[in-house]
Each structure stands twice: as C-alpha cells, then as structure tokens.
Amino acid sequence: MNIKTVPATDKWTEYTLTNEAGMAVSILDFGGIITKLLVPDREGNLENVVLAYKNVQDYQQNPNYFGALIGRVAGRIEGASFNLSGKNYTLEANEGINHLHSGSAGFHQVLWKTEPFQTNHAVGLMLSHSSPDGEGGYPGNLTVTVTYTLTNDNRLLMDYEASSDKTTPLTLTNHSYFNLSGNLKNTVDAHAATIDCSQVVELDDQLIPTGNLMAVEETPFDFRAGRMLGDGLNDEFTQNQLAGSGYDHYFIFDNKQEQKVVVQESASGRQMAIETDQPGMVMYTGNGLDDTLLLSEGKSRKYLGVCFETQGSPASLHHKNMPNIILQADETYKTQTVFAFSLMK
C-alpha cells in the first residue's frame, strides 16, 4: 500500500492511493475529483474504469461533473428556489430556470483541505471544507468532511459527514462516470445492472420530478432481476426519451438487498457492487455526452459512462413523497456509499 502525491497544476494536488492488490484511485484536492480508478480484469490487467479528462486543466469548468463531489445539494431543484420554515430561498438558475448540482458555488469547484492516512488494511484521503451561511443561496454555516478509503479487498468507501448551525437542505454525492470495459473500450450498453428498486421518480421534459412515483414493472426501468443498460438507451418508452434516450432518473431503493446495485461487464469480467445507506440514487447513462471532449483514453461519446449518484432526492423540497434532504440545525449528516470491485463468477 502507498500514497503518492504529485502537483496537478500550480494550485492543485493529485493523491494516488494504491492497495496491496494493485488497485489504485487518484483524487484531486480540487473538487474532490476522482481522476483515475485502476481495477483488474479477469486476466489481472489493471485498467481505468472512470471517465477523466486528458488535460487536468479541463476540470476547472467540468460541465459534466466528471468524478466530482457534488453539494450542497446534488441534483436539480425546480425553479431554482425552495421554501424552508416559511422563508423562500432563491438559488442560481444554471440549467434553464432550474438549479443543478448547487451551481457555480458547488463543492465540485472547491479546493478542499486534505489529509492522507494509512492503516493496516487501507489507504485513504480525508477532505474537509467549510461553506459560509448564504453561500450559493443556502442557509447555515456548514462544515463537511468526505473520506475516500481504499481497502485491500478492492472496496472504495466514500464517507460523508456534515453539520450546519441552521436547518438547511443537504445531500452529497460523487459524480464519477463508470465504464467497466476498461480504458473506455466500449460504451456502457452491454453493462448488465441489477438494482434493488421497484419505484422510480417520474420526470417532466425539463428532467424535473413531477411528484409521481412510477412502478418499474413492464418498463425498461425494471432492473430487479438484472438487465442490460442498453435496453433503455434505444427504447421508445416515454421516460427514456425525455432523458435523451437513456436514464437520468432517481431510483428509490427497496432495501431488500445489502447490495443495492450490481453492475457487470462480461468482456472484462469486472463486477461492481454498490452498498449504501442512502434512500436512492440517480442513474445517469451519459446521454448528454458528445465527441467534443478529450478524455484520458480518447474522445468522449454518448453513453461512454454511467453514474450512480447515491443521495436523497432534492424533489422532496417540492413534493412530500420523496426521500427527505433537510438537515436540522446542529444535527450530524452522516452517510456512506461503498463501491466494491470483484470478478464475475
């Protein structure tokens, strides 16, 4: 195991955590961005399984949020506003009239304080940040720590902890785009996914939740017994079409399985299982990607990666039947998501 530190730019530092199996994750202090994740295939070849820019300076803008920590609130907030305890709060409208991933003041644009660490079984990096009351339009002085831990059994843990001196909306996530084919050899069409979910949140044509929960039965959203992501990428089902021919939806977990998601790519033999205490996730299949971005292994293209954004639902700010994201003053926000890598059996 080791931790390697290199300057990424004149202001940013990149930390690479490597375990005893050779698996490695590279993380910038800027945005807490995962820039590389090397995972073995069935032949033992270590290859990158996340989308990343070839030029590190491109993360300065990063409109697709590659690898970044997202907060204070991950996802879309309808009308770039919300009401809390009788008071209206106005946010930056950075996607039409709506607010996406906390706008330009979001945590993906923050230079985090970092503290690497090592134990007998793991290597890690703790990132911390303080967001002042009113930043981005949100109430409360907020302190946040996010800890990435890579264990020797190829588990990548993401631990989030935060507290605020005022009641405030909060739901944090990581926005890595995964591609288990390795080094972006193929799009994610042939990734098979199993998801512990029988209801998803219906979207309108602006990708804003309508407030309706949609049963997954007999739709391309039914992953309970496993199916290919490609099933929904070319489907004529209205919800897939609204998302740009793919998925960009909040899946509410049934909590019947410890592993909420299992993803497999048969050509490489890689498997990724997701464990989390979050109530659901947004699965986004890279529907908005095109060939204008230069990535570490070549040009980007549609469906080149898939995000599993474990989080609460910002739609709860406008609809009461969604997983809540309100953090009470002086309470502790604490949640964990684990990405466990192995080989298909």
| Token code pair at residue 88 | 């209206």
Of 108, 129, 175, 249, the active-site residue reads 175
Neighbours of 259 (CB within 10 A): 15
- Active-site residue, 175 included: yes
| Nearest partner of 70 among 321, 331, 312, 322, judged by Cα | 312
Structure token digits, residue 87: 């008071």
CA dist., res. 312 & res. 322, Å (int): 8
| Catalytic, out of 14, 78, 265, 309 | 309
Q: Find the radius of gyration of the CA atoms of the chain.
A: 19
Residue type, 286: G
Do 136 and 91 meet the contact criterion of CB atoms below 8 Å apart? yes
For residue 27 the two structure tokens come to: 């993380």
Q: Could you give phi then psi for residue 27, rounded to 5 degrees?
A: -135, 135
Give 137-150 as a DSSP string. G--S-EEEEEEEEE
Whether 270 and 39 have beta carbons less than 8 Å apart is answered as yes
- Per-residue burial over 130-148, b if 16 or more Cβ lie within 10 Å, else e, is ebeeebbbbbbebebbbbb
User: Known catalytic residue: 309?
Assistant: yes
Dihedral over Cα of 52, 17, 158, 104: its sign: negative
Q: What is the DSSP letter of 247?
A: -
**Cα dist. 253→232, 274, 306, 322, 325 in Å?**
19, 12, 18, 12, 16
Q: Catalytic amino acids?
A: 175, 309
